Structures are given as structure tokens and as C-alpha cells.
Amino acid sequence: MTDAESYVELRCRSAFSFLAGASLPEDLVTEAARLQHDTISIVDRDGVYGAPRAFRAAGAAGLRALVGADVAIDGRRLALLVADHRGYRNLCRLITSGKLRAPKGECELGWDDLEEHAGGLVALVPGGEGAMLGTVDDPDLTLRLDRLRSLLGAEQCYVEIHRHLDRRQERITRRLVALAEATGIPLVASNDVQHARPEDRRLLDVFACVRLKTTLDGAGRRLVANAERHLKSAREMCALFRDLPEAVQNTRRVAERCRFTLADLGYRFPSIELPAGRDAIAHLQELAERGARHRYGQITPRIRAQLDHEIAVIGRLDLAGYFLIVWDIVEYCRQQGILAQGRGSAANSAVCYALGITAVDPVGMGLLFERFLSEERGEWPDIDIDLPSGDRREAVIQYVYRRYGVHGAAMTANVVTYRSRSAVREVGKVLGFESEPVARLASLLRAFEFRDPDDEVPNQLVSAGFDPSAPRVRLLVDLVRRMQNLPRHLGQHSGGMVLAAGRLDEVVPLEPATMPGRVVVQWDKDDCADLGIIKVDLLGLGMMAVLEDAIPLVREHDGVTVDIARLPQDDPAVYDLLQKADTIGVFQVESRAQMATLPRLKPNCFYDLVVEVAIIRPGPIVGQMVHPYLRRRAKREPVTYPHPSLKPILERTLGVPLFQEQLLRIAMTAAGFTGGEAEELRRAMGFKRSTARMVEIEARLRSGMTARGIVGEAAEAIVKGITSFALYGFPESHSASFALIAYASAYLKVHHPAAFYCAMLNNWPMGFYHPATLVKDAERHGVAVRPIDVTCSGWRCSIEAGALRVGLRYVHGLREAAARRIETERALAPFASLGDLVARSLLHEDERERLAHAGACAAFGGHRRDVLWQLAALERDPTTLFGARASAASDMPKMPSSLPPMSPLEETLADYASTGVTTGPHVMAHLRDRLRSHGVLTSAEVRNVRNGSFVRVAGHVIVRQRPGTAKGMLFLTLEDETGTCNVAVRPDVFRRNRRLLHTARLLRVEGPIQHADGVIHVLGRAFEEMTLLAGAPPPSHDFH
């Protein structure tokens, strides 16, 4: 092997070194393949974040990806490469130790840690600023090298040299060469790669500035001196080290010693304790039997056959342990009284239903087990469990940590990447632009789901006040484009937990999450899935928390015990609410698009709700299934089937395929596929399409249909339906699980509105609407909503005599501890006066003012400004002589203020500013007289206007949405004191009014009315922003 053939790049830092590398692992692998390297080593800072992606990409490109990390021992950096499996375990544990003892984002390691975890690692010891061997005048350099050699062994240490054509670096290199000669430690060359191609150096500089919190102009020599830290060919590297050929040859020796790859992680799934003498599958079978008897009462032959089939498949796939672990978690929830419900394809399983993991009867609904699990697929099943968000979900997560140990369980990571807006902010700052135009540009780049050329940075420059021809502005555009999709930092996945038998920290490094008590792995859910690490999703669902909170409120205040699992599924009042689209706050059917479909679909049974949940999804919309289904439902077109054999499959959905299970059954019936093959077909046609795979599977589909006599138009229709629908279809089981929750929430809204809205407000943020909208919706449903009052409000919202009392949690800036103290003191004795409140509640000065501004002290008399005046007059420090007197100061004379009271509009705006909600009049009610004089109608009045009439409406913009499937249309929801009104804006009109439509909070709209099947829209043609001098209502909820 020649020198040029022997060179291996042993040190590549990817963008997963977070602001210290500028290329994705995949880009580094692609460039390495282009340069004809056969091996690449990704060595990220303090972790193996990029290793799975490099491993995947390297596998596809025919390269070998070595694993390693760049770590600092006592603040001095070196690279540790993994030689064997023991080394990988040690590296993971070493990084975990350093991470778990340091603040988030940092890693603190000492020599003792390295000593403990030295086995199986190869150290590349570099020189330079901050590196293990320091700079030329470092007196302790030999000492540190000797220590490393004694810890790792002489064979495991290499002095690493770089040549970036930098004069100062060359002095260090010469010193290192002399040191290597003197100590007998071999040299190894590397290019310390930090970006794939030379042109990526610009991004490296930008990241350096972000990391150093400076601008490019101010960074000076803290930036690299040239663009030489890119991947170079072996020939180039040999030329650079032509005087030190052994340094090049040693790269191959190191690579050959590092035999470990991620193909063998040594991961094992944990098992739970089994009853004596029973194996996992027998135990699972027994539990499923017991559960099925409880669920079904009588086990019919059909149920028996399904259970037996599923148990047999689970047994053959050796997955009983996985089901038992999920059952164990659900069982814990049941014991603790925590609502838990499996979602997703798990609801296709009768075993999951029997075990209590899911709530939908798959046998009764005719769901297809193979959508969940099949022998052909050879993958782990995916069971997601919905839990009430907040403390109860946290309790379940902590149970899992306790059950499997701190080192046996962790959350999966979520890699937060740069998007247009974040990239504009960072690059704008680094290039030294004024903050105001940069913020303006970022605000114009609202990432709606639908994107057109106007959404790109270059097209918004002029609006934001930039000159697009200026060189720095052109740079901004280029850098923002390059920065997008690069990792920004590591977050925590919303609910994915990974478990391991033994130590998870020997499989992947763990690190602390921002949230106390949480530990995350360094990989995201896709990385974990690719490497065969099993994940259980414990997802927090706000609506589950609402249901759980509402049940005791209903019991206490309405005297009714509600059992969510046994609600009557034929309640006419519930279907009446759904048909009228009165669904603000109702799970899954409260979006603008759902509300526009409900009056057309007119659900009148539970299965209609299952359809409704599934139908407003990209699949049915893009596949043009929605309108045929609605027309057939309204009997405007006949129900037909592509082939008579498909009638039993499509009959329930009037001949229109809406669910993934139907697609699978079509393939099974029409082409004779097995369940597993059908699922394989769905995946082949899904998001990660492979053309070769699609062609192969389509040929099988056609030949299967031909064998069954399905040819010509019918065959074409089936193929077309499957290929277009597979991409976006929605599982019926998932829809059914969500429909159960949707029904329960609608039931509570209809029959127990006070408890429903109270629980909604206590669990916000959740759902589509701001609390301000929920409060007004509650009032429209006859719930009296009372304002925040320090003499009776608790931290949470509550119900008093059938009315909803807004809780202190809505006062912005009030600490929960302070509110709890108010509750405690009030329970001891009511507050006699403002002075009494101040003295006993020990509120901070700004908290007192916020309470006064919110009108929460109105019970003591005086208007808000008067109360603020009184508070200012009170002694601020309650521990002083005068402060102590204030505690008994109910008799203190009031300090008269000559301040005028707030006007009603000012009070409403003060409510919004200090609490986000108002229990007084809606902001639009204050403007009504003026609006009426301009011919502006209310939302209620618009409903009575003839189709096509030209109207003016105005309201608070509560929702903005530009769906990807609506060809650039923008939809707004305006709210006024009478309800909500939908506005649709055509793309050309949106373009002309872009800034206004992006930012205005109060909007006046003119345009014609469009009526269709009870759904009313104003087609916006002209717009005007209404501004209020004293403040503004809350911002809209924009859908991205």
C-alpha cells in the first residue's frame, strides 16, 4: 500500500460539535467518498452525537465509519478513538460521567475518569491552544504525555500533528515531532477537519462568532487563519507530510486497530421479573387472557382466533418482553389513577386492547393487526402512550427511571436545527447588522406550512429595509441558506424513552436535560431506531390532563360521576355540537379546517367522528378523497367501488379509501398480498420512497391483480389510489383512539361546561386557542366567568357556585410560591385590607403592582390606579417598624389619590397585558359603535348575510394558517364579542398585504361572503389594521 493509499482521516468534527464544526456527518462522508477515502472518523466534541448519521451514510457510500470523541481532560483536549467494544463502552461511560456532573452543554473530566475508562481506546494527542500538548513554550507538555502513556499504554497513544499551512502551527508541529522522537511515541497525521469543503469555512467562522458572542468584525484572530481545515485527499495529505511519511502510515495502523463500528452496539432490551416457572410469552398470554375476559366479557371464536394469532406472532418475534414492559408502565398508571391510552398502530392489536394499553376494540372495528406488527418487517413495534401532560406524566417518567435505574433509562434527544428565522437572527448579528431590521426580517419569515418564493429570505429583504444588492446583504442570504438544517443544540424529545438491560450509558452517552431529574441520550429517535434501540413514547396530551382534572370537578360541583371509558356514544347533544362546529376546545376537531368540515360531514355516530378526525389530513386532501366522500355522504354522487371485491373494505367509507388499513386490505384482497407484504407495500410507497423498490412492488401488485382477474381501468384505479394515498394515509386505529378522546371532550363541553373550561384553563398551554378565546367561548356557553380576585382566587382556576373563577396563575409575573402563600394566609383568616394582604403575603413589589394592574385587588375598594397608589404608599419592607404596623393596618387611613379611573377599554387592555384574558367586555365591544358607523358587521350578523354579498367584518386575529395543501391560501379566524368569523385570502391578495396580514392583531376585512353547506367565509379583498393606543390583545396562534 502506497502512502497515498494508506492515509485515513482520523479526526473530522461535524456540525454535531455544536458551533465548532460546519458540516453534517453525511456531507463529510459524501466528500470523503468523492475524495476516494475508504474510512472516515467522526470525532465530535464531548459526544458521539453525529456517529449514527455518519455510520448510516458511510454504509450507503461503502465507507467504514470509526467512532470517537474529542474530550477535555482537566481542560486539555485530545481525541479518543474506539478500538473495540470495550473501548466503546468506556467512551460512553467516560462522556456520561463528565456530562452528568457538569452544567448542561458542558463536560468536566479529570485524569481519574480517564484512568477508570481507558481500556480499548486509542488517544490522538494534539498540540496547540487548549490542546493536551499545549503550545511551544508549554513546560508541562512532556509530563502530560508521560501520564497519558502510563494510563493508556504506550501502544494506545499517538502524537497528533496537523499542517494547516499556518506558520505558528508549524512551530508547534516541529516541537511535537521532536517530542515524539524523544519519547518514542509514534506520530500520526490528521487534518483536524472542521468542514467538508473549503467553501464551508465561512460557516465555521460564523459559528465561531455565535459561540464567542461576537461579530465577524470583532472576532479578529479568534477565527481560523485560512480555509485549510476541510477534507483533503490522501494525495494532498501525503504531500503535506512528505517529510514525515511514518505519520501518514500510522493513520492506517490506527484505523486497522479501530475495528469497532456501530453495527454491534451490544444493546439488549430489559426484561421484567416473571412469576416462577413462567417464561415471558406464557406470562403475556395469561395476562392477555385475563384482560380479554375483562374487556369482552365473553371471548367469541373470532376474538380467540385474533388473540391466538397475535400471541403466536409475538412469540415468534420474541417480543413478549417488550409488551410486558409497556403493560407494566400502563399498570403503574392504573394503580396511580393516571389516565393512559395507547395511540397509533398499537390500537390494531387485540393483545394491546386486552392488556389495557389501548382503548379501541380492534376486533369490533375490524382493524388490521399487520399494520402494527408483521413477521416480514423484522422491526420493533412502536407503542406510544398518551398521558396527561404535566406532573402526572412526569410521575410515570420518574417511575421508569426508578424501575430501570438512572443508567438504564433516558429520554431520546431532539436535535434542534437552524430554520430561516433563527438563522437570520444569528447571521444578522454576526455580520453586524442593526438588530431592528434583522428582527423585522425574521418576523416576515413566519414559517407557515405552505411556502412560496415570497417566503424565502431574498424576497423579504426590501420589506425589512435591506438593500438586496449590498454585498453584506447578499452574504446574509447565502449564509442563511447554508446554515439551515444544521444542528443548533440538543433538546429533549417530547416523550420518547429508551430502555436497556444493564447500563444504557454503555450503549450511548447520557447527559442532563434542562429539566431537573431528566437524562437524555445523545441520539434522536431516528438514530435510536436505526441502531435497534427500543423506544417507548410516553407522550403528554393536554386533553388527557383536562379529562382527568374535569372528572373530580364534575363530581364535586355537578354531583355526577363521569366514567370516560363508559360514556354513552350516542348522545344527541354531543353530535349537535359537532354538527354546528361549535368545537373550540374539543380535542382534534377544533381547528379551522375541522370546523369547516363538520357542518358538511354532519357526524351522527362514533364512526363518523373517527372519519372526521382522519379526513382533515394531508393524505385525504392531497389524494382528493375529501370532496368525493362529502359528496357521497350528502348523496350528491353515487357510491361506487373500483372493483366489487373491494366493497366490504370500502363500504364503511362510501367507496373512498380514507385509512391506511383499507389500503393494506385492498392489496391483500385484490392482489393476494399477505398482511406483512401489504405493510411492506405501504412503507415502500411511503415517505422514504425508493424508485427501484416501488417498481418491484408495483409489478407484484399488478401480477397479483391479474391473477384475480382485476385488469384494465379497475386495476389502474387501484394502483393509482394506492400509490397516491400511501404517502399520507392515516391509520384508522390511531383515528379511533383520538376519536374517543374527542368524544369525551365534546361530552364534557356540552354537559359540564364549567368544569370543562376550568380544566382547560388550568392545563393551558394546549390546543389551538388562547385562554382569552376560551374564556369568551365559555361565556357564550353560559358559564359565568369571574375575574381574578386575591380574596378568593387560588393559584388554579376553580368553580364557585357554578361560576368559573380565574386563578392567580394567569397573573403574569406572579410566582406560584407567592400565590400559594396568598391561599395559605387567606385560609387562616381573610385579608382585611390591602395593607393586610401586603403584610401577610410577602409579595414582591412588582407582584403587588401586577395584581393591582390586573384588578385582582378590587375587593378592597377603589379602582385599579387608586389601588396602585395605595400600594405605593405602603411601607415596602414588612420587617421594619412601619411595615409591621401595616400588618394590622386595616385601620390605616387611605391615602387619597386624584388619579382618574381607567376607562373600560383601558381596563380590558390592562387585563390582556397583565393576565392575557379578560372577563369583562371583549376588546371589539369597545369599538363596536365606531365600527357600526362604518358598516362593519359582527360575526353573528355575518351568518345571516346572503351568499355573495359584500361585507365588512373586524375582529381580533386569533388564528393564522397557510396550509401546505391549500395552494397558498391564507386563512384567518377573527374573534369579536359575538363569536368567530373565518376569512380566506387568495395568494395574490396575500402577497400584496403580506406584512399587514402577518402582524396585525386587530384587523378590518372587506370582501364577499361565501356560504357552502353551512360553512361561511369572508373572501378578504381589502384589509386595514386597527391600532389601540393603550395596548393590544394577545397575538394569534400561527400554524407552522
Residues that bind another protein (CB under 8 A): 136-137, 139, 164-167, 170, 201-202, 205, 216-217, 220-221, 223, 225-228, 431, 471-472, 475
Helix (H, G, I), strand (E, B) or coil at 276: coil
Burial of 365 (0-12, 13-18, 19+ CB in 10 A): middle
Minimum CB separation of residue 21 from another protein in Å reads 19
CB closer to another protein, 136 vs 395: 136
CB 842 within 8 A of CB 813: no
Q: How many CB atoms lie within 10 A of CB 512?
A: 18
Question: How many H helices and E strands in the chain?
Answer: 45, 24
Minimum CB separation of residue 389 from another protein in Å reads 45
Minimum CB separation of residue 226 from another protein in Å reads 4
Q: Looking at this protein, which amino acid is placed at residue 774?
A: L
Minimum CB separation of residue 746 from another protein in Å reads 56
CB 291 within 8 A of CB 331: no
CB closer to another protein, 222 vs 636: 222
Give residue 647's region: left, alpha or beta (phi > 0; psi -120 to 50). alpha
Cα 878 to Cα 1034: distance, rounded to the nearest angstrom: 35
CB closer to another protein, 172 vs 529: 172
Return the DSSP state at 502: S
Enumerate the β-bridge partners of residue 473.
Answer: none
Return the DSSP state at 4: H
CB closer to another protein, 225 vs 305: 225
**Residue whose C-alpha is closest to residue 82's, from 31, 10, 180:** 10
CB 144 within 8 A of CB 176: no
Cα 464 to Cα 451: distance, rounded to the nearest angstrom: 18
Minimum CB separation of residue 408 from another protein in Å reads 49
CB closer to another protein, 33 vs 475: 475
Minimum CB separation of residue 243 from another protein in Å reads 12
Minimum CB separation of residue 218 from another protein in Å reads 8
Minimum CB separation of residue 180 from another protein in Å reads 19
CB closer to another protein, 122 vs 423: 423
CB closer to another protein, 432 vs 552: 432
Nine-digit cell string for 217? 468584525
Minimum CB separation of residue 326 from another protein in Å reads 53
Q: How far is CA 716 from CA 245, 620, 721, in A?
A: 64, 19, 8
CB closer to another protein, 167 vs 566: 167
The residue behind cell 444542528 is 487
Helix (H, G, I), strand (E, B) or coil at 124: strand
Rg of the chain over Cα atoms, rounded to whole angstroms, equals 33
Minimum CB separation of residue 848 from another protein in Å reads 32
CB closer to another protein, 334 vs 472: 472
CB closer to another protein, 222 vs 967: 222
Cα 156 to Cα 732: distance, rounded to the nearest angstrom: 56
**Residue whose C-alpha is closest to residue 585's, from 781, 838, 406, 735:** 781
CB closer to another protein, 171 vs 820: 171
Phi, psi of 689 (to 5 degrees): -70, 140
Q: How many CB atoms lie within 10 A of CB 696?
A: 12
Q: What 3 state SS string does 444-477 have?
A: HCCCCCCCCHHHCHHHHCCCCCCCCCCHHHHHHH
CB closer to another protein, 166 vs 454: 166
Helix (H, G, I), strand (E, B) or coil at 1033: coil
Sign of CA dihedral 324, 328, 331, 333: negative
CB closer to another protein, 473 vs 889: 473
CB closer to another protein, 378 vs 471: 471
Secondary element (H or E) of residue 704? helix 691-707
Minimum CB separation of residue 224 from another protein in Å reads 9
DSSP class per residue in 518-584: -EEEEEEHHHHHHTT--EEEEEEEHHHHHHHHHHHHHHHHH-----GGG--TT-HHHHHHHHTT--T
CB closer to another protein, 164 vs 253: 164
CB closer to another protein, 209 vs 411: 209
Give residue 900's region: left, alpha or beta (phi > 0; psi -120 to 50). beta
Minimum CB separation of residue 13 from another protein in Å reads 19
Minimum CB separation of residue 203 from another protein in Å reads 11
Enumerate the β-bridge partners of residue 1010.
Answer: 1017
DSSP class per residue in 842-859: ---HHHHHHHHHTTTTGG
Minimum CB separation of residue 250 from another protein in Å reads 25
Minimum CB separation of residue 221 from another protein in Å reads 6
Cα 100 to Cα 905: distance, rounded to the nearest angstrom: 52
> Which residues in 382-429 belong to E strands, given as ranges?
384-388, 409-417
CB 973 within 8 A of CB 958: yes
Minimum CB separation of residue 210 from another protein in Å reads 14
CB closer to another protein, 201 vs 535: 201
Minimum CB separation of residue 139 from another protein in Å reads 6
Enumerate the β-bridge partners of residue 804.
Answer: 785, 799
CB 263 within 8 A of CB 17: no
Nine-digit cell string for 677? 407484504
CB closer to another protein, 201 vs 446: 201
535-541 and 384-388 beta bridge pairing: parallel
Secondary element (H or E) of residue 86? helix 85-100
**Residue whose C-alpha is closest to residue 42's, from 464, 522, 395:** 522
Minimum CB separation of residue 145 from another protein in Å reads 18
